[in-house]
Amino acid sequence: MHVLEAWELYRFFHIGDDETAALRGVNLHVGLGEIVAVVGPSGSGKSTLLSCITGLDEPDGGHVAVAGVRLTRRSETVRARMRAAHFGILLQSGNLFPHLTVEQNIRLQMLMAEKSDQNRIILLLDSVGLAHRASALPIELSGGETARAGLAVALAADPPILVADEPTAEVDRDTESRLVRQFEARREAGLATLVATHSMALAGRADRILSLKDGRIENG
């Protein structure tokens, strides 16, 4: 079953009279219990694709469906509600509210999804190796700790679909291994993961690899 589908996605950006085609007719699908990796050089459109997939940005053409329900060209209120219900999103930065502790960031994400489970917070913190940093503010975290805390927030509501943008960029090998184990645990639980990455170690654990170049999928 495809829990996430995108058809013929186009996205154009304009600066003055210049037009840049960030996405050029991209199609993709992700099934339950599947890890799909999107690889490609910087500027190939990976981040734009993930923004359109999650409804953080609207494509100029094509559409996205989540669990069979159209996400594209809905009101922001509807898109936000669908994101909360279906997605965990791990961006390259900005995953944590700076004035909240790690634990509070996780709890807030649960509340936004209308879920609250203190035991799950404890388990999440332990699974990403941050049980001892639960009361730390984001500014007090190292780069690897920040990445792991962001993942814990993205996983807080146990989302059917995790979308991660370069989750292992600029982290050490131990942190990368922890993140990969989380993705593999989701696969074993029958959940879906879509990840954009430069890491061949991470892409090598995926069920499928899609190569994006100049806004087009070259395979898949």
Please name the residue ranges forming H helices in 18-62: 46-53
Instruction: Write down the pLDDT at residue 108.
Output: 92
* Alpha-carbon distance values, 77 to 56, 84, 91, 120, 182 (Å): 11, 11, 21, 27, 30
Report pLDDT for 60. Answer: 96
Contacts of 70 (CB under 8 A, 6+ apart): 63, 64
Residue 165 φ then ψ, to 5°: -105, 105
* Segments in the chain below pLDDT 70: 220
Dump pLDDT digits (tens) for 112-143. Answer: 887 878 899 999 999 888 999 999 999 999 98
What are the C-alpha distances in Å from 157 to residues 85, 147, 162, 208? 8, 17, 11, 25
Note the pLDDT of residue 220.
Answer: 55
Which pLDDT does position 62 carry in this prediction? 97
Quick one: pLDDT at residue 218? 87
Q: Which residues contact 112 (CB under 8 A, 6 or more apart)?
A: 84, 157
- pLDDT the model gives residue 70: 96
Cβ–Cβ < 8 Å for 206, 35: yes
For 34-56+85-217, give the CATH class.
alpha beta
